[in-house]
Amino acid sequence: MKIIKTINEIREQVSSAKSSGMRVGFVPTMGALHAGHLSLIQAAQKACDFVVVSIFVNPTQFGAGEDLDKYPRNLELDAAKCEALGVDVIFAPQVSEMYPDGFDSWVEVGGEITKVLCGRSRPGHFRGVTTVCAKLFNIVLPDAAFFGQKDAQQLAVIRKMVRDLNMPLSIEACPIVREESGLAMSSRNDYLSDIQRVDAAIIYKSLLASEELFLSGERRSSVLRSKIASMISSVDYAKIDYIEIVDPDTLMPVEIVENKALVAVAIEFGPARLIDNIILSLNNA
Sign of CA dihedral 149, 152, 155, 159: positive
C-alpha distance from residue 18 to each of 13, 130, 159 (Å): 9, 25, 23
Q: How many CA atoms lie within 13 A of 3 on its CB side?
A: 14
Q: Which residues are catalytic?
A: 37
Nearest 5°: the CA angle 129, 97, 144 is 50
Which residues, including other chains, have CB under 8 Å from residue 74's CB and lie 6 or more apart? 31, 32
Angle at the Cα of 145 from the Cα atoms of 177 and 57, rounded to 5 degrees? 75
Q: How far apart, in whole angstroms, are the C-alpha atoms of residue 124 and residue 120?
A: 9
**Collapsing DSSP states into helix, strand and coil, what is residue 247?**
coil
